[in-house]
């Protein structure tokens, strides 16, 4: 737990004493473990104290403190201070910390200005539509903070390959419900093997990877249906995804297990790299175990090892 007791803080929230909560924010940095292989991104509402207080106990590779959807407008100012408060009081955390702000033209610019001093690992910007939106966000966000983007408008979808205007842009999140609604498509088509959904997932995956950006697949909303969630994770893994949005610790545990590279896959990659790099001219080789190994196969194996180191 971040705080042993929450009674005093709960009283301040009850009184809507935003200034008192803000004074408790220290602006210090915790000791952070930086996972390089991202499997899970857990969404937490930034106005829920009990959830925030477990930040240092979570198993998610990424924890997203949400200020946008699910937080009522009247609660957003307090939620912003609470996000900063818990970020600044963390002593240690094993997850990347991301704050999902509101859209830039709906208070997100002011939220960025406040959050810069507390230095989350990244700020996630919603409702992106164009390269100009990303450039604006980059000018507002501290250069030491990474930038994540929600892909949830039809304009962002059309401009997907051009949104990574700087190396700080390192992750895209597929907001499939908003995206379908913006395109005029019904949510009922979200089914495995639906051709439209398959196209959306494949397009999002390949365009993100071609831009050197981590693609995080959509959040499965029914947190009680773990069987369906497992099937979606397995299906997306078969497509090439290795990161999934989550809304509960149970979903995190499931996705962590499914998207974790298998031992055999890692050992195969290590042997391929070892065999290929042992050749004086790094030429293609034929292995009795792994068959024909050329430079593209070697590079794929090396990328896998680099991602989990």
Q: Annotated binding site for substrate, which residues?
A: 100, 152
Cα 213 from Cα 117, distance rounded (Å):
26
Residue 12, phi then psi, degrees to nearest 5: -65, -40
End-to-end CA gap in the chain:
28
Cα 120 from Cα 45, distance rounded (Å):
16
Cα 147 from Cα 137, distance rounded (Å):
8
Tell me whether residue 37 is exposed, middle or buried, using C-beta atoms within 10 angstroms of its C-beta: 0 to 12, 13 to 18, 19 or more: middle
Do 218 and 246 meet the contact criterion of CB atoms below 8 Å apart?
no
Annotated binding site: 100, 152, 178
Annotated binding site for Mg(2+): 152, 178
217 CB-near residues (< 8 Å, 6+ apart): 174, 201, 204, 236, 241, 243, 244, 245
Q: How far is CA 269 from CA 127, 264, 277, in A?
A: 38, 9, 12
């Amino acid at each position: 737990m971040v705080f042993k007791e929450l009674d005093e803080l709960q009283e301040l929230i009850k009184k809507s004493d935003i200034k008192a909560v803000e004074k408790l924010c220290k602006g210090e940095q915790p000791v952070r473990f930086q996972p390089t292989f991202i499997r899970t991104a857990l969404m937490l509402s930034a106005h829920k104290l009990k959830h925030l207080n477990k930040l240092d106990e979570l198993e998610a590779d990424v924890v997203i403190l949400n200020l946008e959807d699910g937080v009522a407008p009247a609660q957003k100012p307090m939620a912003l201070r609470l996000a900063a408060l818990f970020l600044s009081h963390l002593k240690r955390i094993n997850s990347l910390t991301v704050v999902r702000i509101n859209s830039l033209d709906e208070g997100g610019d002011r939220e960025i200005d406040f959050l810069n001093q507390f230095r989350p690992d990244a700020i996630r910007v919603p409702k992106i539509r164009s390269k100009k939106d990303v450039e604006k966000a980059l000018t507002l966000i501290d250069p030491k903070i990474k930038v994540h983007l929600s892909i949830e408008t039809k304009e962002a979808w059309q401009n997907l390959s051009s949104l990574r205007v700087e190396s700080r842009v390192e992750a895209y999140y597929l907001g499939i419900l908003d995206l379908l609604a913006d395109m005029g498509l019904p949510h009922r088509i979200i089914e495995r093997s639906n051709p439209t959904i398959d196209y959306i997932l494949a397009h999002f995956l390949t365009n993100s990877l071609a831009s050197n950006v981590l693609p995080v697949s959509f959040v499965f909303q029914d947190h009680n249906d773990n069987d369906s969630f497992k099937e979606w994770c397995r299906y997306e893994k078969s497509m090439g995804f290795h990161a999934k949005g989550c809304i509960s610790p149970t979903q995190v545990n499931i996705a962590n297990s499914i998207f974790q590279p298998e031992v055999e896959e890692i050992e195969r990659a290590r042997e391929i790299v070892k065999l290929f790099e042992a050749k004086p001219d790094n030429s293609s080789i034929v292995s009795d175990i792994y068959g024909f190994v050329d430079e593209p196969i070697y590079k794929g194996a090396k990328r896998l090892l680099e991602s989990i180191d």
